[in-house]
Structure 1
Amino acid sequence: MISQSALLAFILTSLVLVRYYYQGWVLKRKLATIPSCAGNGVFSSFTDPFRPLFDPLAFIQEGYDKFRGSVFKFQVLSRWVVIVTSPALIQDLQKAPDDVVSSQEGVKELLQSEYTFGNPFHEDPYTVKVIRGLLTRNIGAKFAEVQDEITVSCEELLPSTGEWELVNLRDVIMPLVARTSNRFFSGLPLCRNPDYLDLNIRYTLQVILSAYFISVFPAFLKPLIGNVFTPLRSAMRRARRHLVPIIKERLANEERYGEEWSERPNDLLTWLLSEATTSSRRTVDDLVLRFLATNFGAIHTTTMTVTAAISSLGVNPEYIPELRQEITSVVAEHGWTKAAMGHMRKLDSFLMESQRMYMYFAYGLNRKVLKDFTFLNGLTVPAGATVAVPVWAIHHDNASTSSFHFILSFMTRNEYFPNAETFDGFRFSKMREEEGESIKHQMVTPTREYLLFGVGRHACPGRFFAVNEVKAIIGHMLMEYDFKLEPEGVMPNVKWFGGGGMQDEKTKVWFRKRK
């Protein structure tokens, strides 16, 4: 005989399932007016929800080509995503109120942050203000430390002789980025602690994998799956060993001397405490969590940018002499400083073009619709859907060579870049040479055409540090090393899953010390 507890569990489970599928059915009906990117085969209704997972690039490009200038929707397992493709629609999305279309909820869904970063990080995102404010304002003051760490790290991670040596690219770049970022965040000696670096590198990779895995499950199963497969608990245990003594000592000194004590370090912990105005923000665990999350943001995207840049130089080595000439000239005048990074226009352009061509996002800028949202053209996206932008397709959209046709196509078909399938390393620096364009077309400047760091008020707050760090790393490597891909001249493969991809972790590069 079935026990009462088993019967109650069965009834509750049934109710949850009925509610879940009913909500999905209601959302699907509300989305009926938006065209679908779907196959027309016999089994398409079963296979379509998996295509965006395993072949996102071709899938999104197919929808973009078919519905360019408008919108389309697709189902990815239990979620519905609406893709907006025109500049006007992207602008509408950019201006939407946060309580209607939420970037924060979009990030939560993308990274499953409730399980990968913890509720405090999502519910009280004051770290964004810290990054946008104090962290960014201190880039110049701490740039010499960053440059020193790049030099020391490269000496340890890369060949020290003029003989060619084959290295695994990710095994070099991730530790290099982790060390450089943490020299800026925490300084010596923590930034060189092998266990602390390994912790942050592993956590970064685990967040990506866990977020992908958790996201494939329906909402009612995520609390169970997320709590089993979260990388946060083990990362917190390791991080506490390194950070708790530092945090406790800093809190004690602030209690004793006040916030303005003369020997107060200029680092991430100080910047966090400057904004930690509530008791919940000043707990040791909350501060440890902020360190982990900040490291994830710094290591993940910067590693992808640097590996793409090195690979782009390997495929297009003809740009190297002119880049070296620019770096030599700028450094002779400004030294290795933040100001020097701003004068390296050709390097900035090359990095922009590398990301335009090889940014590993089929779609991004995810926003969660919290209340029914109507675009200016009258199209309504219902609450519960996710809205996103086809980043790769836009970055590879050809522009007409005629100025008149370019303007017309930009307004209607949104074609953006002349000869978009051709790598033009100085594409953006040449644009800056035109009258009135000198301060435009920079890597740190988000636009509705160049989407590396998002758009509008929700653009990546850490982009200024990231760009200066990447320039410093690539600039140093260009001046100190020769390098070439293995096999030579062949862009490494990319592994795609969900809306994004990662360059093959087995990518090999030959390095040698320059004479």
Structure 2
Amino acid sequence: MIEYLKEFVDRIDSKTLENVKSLAFSKEGAIGISTAIILSSAYNYHKWSSRTISNGCPRVPHTLPFVGLTRVYRKDSKAFCEEWHAKLGPVFRAHLFGKEVTVVSGHYVREVFLNKHFDFVKGVAKVFDTRLLTDSGSREDFTPEDLREIITKYLTPKLNFYTKRVIKRLKQGVESSLGDKDSIELDNLYPFVQHLVVNASASIFVGEELSQNKLLIDSFKNMVRDVGKEIKQNPWFEPFPTINKFRMWLIGKTSPVIKNHKEQLLNAIKPEVEYRLSQARSNPDWKKPTDMLQDLLENSKPPAHLDLMDHLVHIITFLIFVALHTTSENTTVLLYRMLENPAIVDELVIEQQEVLEQEGLDANCGSEVFTRDILKKFVKLDSVCRETFRMKNQYISLPHEYDGKVPLTLSNGAVINPGEDVLIDVWTNHQYTEDANDVEDADQFKAFRFVDQDKQSTKVGEDYLFFGMGRRACPGRWFAIQEVQTILAMLVREYKFMPKGPIVFPTEERSPIPTGKCIIQRK
């Protein structure tokens, strides 16, 4: 039943959509899905009960089949990591998130990140498949390698050019939030930061003019949240990956919310694309815009079964998911660290003054003079970023599916079978290293820990896995870090932001955004 359902999800075409939809929401369909879940449960239980104790490495004991250790882990993720790393070492087996997985930390993470047969995209898709949830084609239509090429060839090399545009849009975003007031009080920073990130990013992705389109901005801002709501409504599907995959496919095909966002994107970009194509054909004096949409028009050809507009909407949808929410979240965490430690802001202001004076600029100038080269010289700001991300409540994550054809044995003897997942104990690697001198105060937030240490916030390694590691490390990290640092540098330069009440940093992995009221005021 499980293999049949998996094959069904992979092969089904749009012609059967209405029949599937009717069946899924009928009484018979409910019975059928329930039966499939029961059979899936029996199958998973058989796999769980028949496994060897060690499989080449120690195993965390548990008594609840199907649920396994997920509830225990989520109740106190930090304690879970610390307890079992101390008891079992850097590599162990555990029943987490509905399946048996291998948890890896220490220098063994290199054997995962540097092996081409471990696939992060496949691992994540088992839980949250952007393509299925948004009905955005298959992996073959737009591969991770295609995305990497677009970022490395057409985005990163233009970051210096985009800096002034981003600063302009950021200042417009803050001013639109302030209106005619000198200051505003915010219950939480995330919506404010998201507003800045979305408007700045949209100007890069689709151009300055198109980024003014309110419906397009609505989808840039809310698509991830709305899709997240759809998938989180029934978290009890987690122990049944195949059923969950079918559910994600069904959401993508039938959700009116997702359909509305894709239509908004299509209606926004279609006139602009048609205009650009027309000008390129007929007007030799036309000055083409500089943005990713233009790069896609010139360099990304749609597959044979997709027209150009659908292809562009799929890619833009993917960019929204991989870039905007994470940047908004991480910038919010950084700002709360500064609110918690006001002395950091004072140091960053002094650093800005020193750098600007070295560049021969007026010490009273605004953030509009910042360039990529100037931003790179804000080494204290960069250290704050790396230290914030090191201390972020990220524990056992970064799932990688092993897609090799034969079992793989890690150097410690752990055996990984084809199709199995390896998860990385990020928290342990961010807290401990092989050098005892490095861990004396690793549990404390020290904003300027990495100044003059040759450990920039984009530099990955065993002790810093925020962007992954190896050849598959996040290709967009230079864009993400520059956008984060541009926001912070602009706010430090132009505005005061002060806490109003306590700042609370979450310890649960599922709640990454801190809470606390603050005031933002023009200087």
- Normalised by the length of structure 1, the TM-score is 0.82
In the alignment, the residues of structure 1 paired with residue 179 and residue 294 of structure 2 have an alpha-carbon distance, to the nearest angstrom, of 36
Change (3 A) 1:14 1:317: closer
Report the CA distance between 1:382 and its aligned residue: 1.4
1:216 aligns with 2:238: yes
Report the CA distance between 1:274 and its aligned residue: 3.5
Kept in 2: contact 1:101–1:373 (CA 8 A): no
1:170 aligns with 2:187: no
> Which residue of the partner structure matches residue 386 of structure 1?
421
1:263 aligns with 2:283: no
In the alignment, the residues of structure 2 paired with residue 31 and residue 208 of structure 1 have an alpha-carbon distance, to the nearest angstrom, of 36
Deviation readout 1:388-423 (Å, 9 max, x if unpaired): 2111232233x6xxxxxx54x5xxxxx954301111
In the alignment, the residues of structure 2 paired with residue 30 and residue 44 of structure 1 have an alpha-carbon distance, to the nearest angstrom, of 12
Worse-matched range after superposition: 326-335 or 461-470 = 326-335
> Which residue of the partner structure matches residue 349 of structure 2?
324
1:107 aligns with 2:124: yes
1:478 aligns with 2:492: yes
Change (3 A) 1:121 1:249: farther
> Which residue of the partner structure matches residue 419 of structure 1?
441
Aligned residue for 1:168, secondary structure, equals coil
> Which residue of the partner structure matches residue 261 of structure 2?
235
Kept in 2: contact 1:81–1:386 (CA 8 A): yes
In the alignment, the residues of structure 1 paired with residue 489 and residue 29 of structure 2 have an alpha-carbon distance, to the nearest angstrom, of 65
Aligned residue for 1:469, secondary structure, equals helix
1:310 aligns with 2:344: no
* Match among 432, 441, 450 for residue 428 of structure 1: 450
Report the CA distance between 1:479 and its aligned residue: 1.5
> Which residue of the partner structure matches residue 71 of structure 1?
91
Matches within 5 A, 1:221-300: 221-230=243-252, 232-254=258-280, 262-280=286-304, 283-300=308-325
Aligned residue for 1:138, secondary structure, equals helix
In the alignment, the residues of structure 1 paired with residue 164 and residue 373 of structure 2 have an alpha-carbon distance, to the nearest angstrom, of 12
> Which residue of the partner structure matches residue 412 of structure 1?
none
In the alignment, the residues of structure 2 paired with residue 178 and residue 166 of structure 1 have an alpha-carbon distance, to the nearest angstrom, of 18
* Identity across matched positions, percent: 21
1:364 aligns with 2:397: yes
Deviation readout 1:338-381 (Å, 9 max, x if unpaired): 11111111110011111111x24222232101232221333211
* Match among 135, 139, 150 for residue 122 of structure 1: 139
Matches within 5 A, 1:458-473: 458-473=472-487
In the alignment, the residues of structure 2 paired with residue 451 and residue 185 of structure 1 have an alpha-carbon distance, to the nearest angstrom, of 27
Amino acid at match of 2:415: T
> Which residue of the partner structure matches residue 3 of structure 1?
none
> Which residue of the partner structure matches residue 366 of structure 2?
none
* Match among 380, 385, 401 for residue 351 of structure 1: 385
In the alignment, the residues of structure 2 paired with residue 452 and residue 511 of structure 1 have an alpha-carbon distance, to the nearest angstrom, of 29
Kept in 1: contact 2:67–2:239 (CA 8 A): no
Worse-matched range after superposition: 56-65 or 383-392 = 56-65
Kept in 2: contact 1:369–1:381 (CA 8 A): yes
Change (3 A) 1:330 1:8: closer
1:491 aligns with 2:504: yes
> Which residue of the partner structure matches residue 62 of structure 1?
83
Deviation readout 1:462-487 (Å, 9 max, x if unpaired): 11111111111001111122222232
Aligned residue for 1:428, secondary structure, equals coil
Aligned residue for 2:465, secondary structure, equals coil
Change (3 A) 1:247 1:302: same
Aligned residue for 1:503, secondary structure, equals coil
Kept in 2: contact 1:254–1:261 (CA 8 A): no
Amino acid at match of 1:86: G
* Match among 195, 199, 205 for residue 179 of structure 1: 199
Kept in 2: contact 1:117–1:293 (CA 8 A): no
In the alignment, the residues of structure 1 paired with residue 311 and residue 52 of structure 2 have an alpha-carbon distance, to the nearest angstrom, of 40
In the alignment, the residues of structure 1 paired with residue 66 and residue 241 of structure 2 have an alpha-carbon distance, to the nearest angstrom, of 21
Report the CA distance between 1:36 and its aligned residue: 2.6
Amino acid at match of 2:513: Q
Deviation readout 1:250-298 (Å, 9 max, x if unpaired): 34445557xx985222111122233323544762112112112212222
Amino acid at match of 2:190: R
1:510 aligns with 2:519: yes
Kept in 2: contact 1:495–1:503 (CA 8 A): no
In the alignment, the residues of structure 2 paired with residue 137 and residue 186 of structure 1 have an alpha-carbon distance, to the nearest angstrom, of 17
Matches within 5 A, 1:401-412: 407=435
Kept in 2: contact 1:495–1:502 (CA 8 A): yes
Amino acid at match of 2:451: S
In the alignment, the residues of structure 1 paired with residue 199 and residue 113 of structure 2 have an alpha-carbon distance, to the nearest angstrom, of 35
Worse-matched range after superposition: 199-208 or 248-257 = 248-257
- Normalised by the length of structure 2, the TM-score is 0.81
> Which residue of the partner structure matches residue 457 of structure 1?
471
Change (3 A) 1:511 1:224: same
Worse-matched range after superposition: 47-56 or 201-210 = 47-56
* Match among 399, 409, 419 for residue 374 of structure 1: 409
Give structure 1 stretches of 5+ with no counterpart: 1-5, 400-405, 410-414, 432-439
Aligned residue for 1:80, secondary structure, equals strand
Amino acid at match of 2:147: T
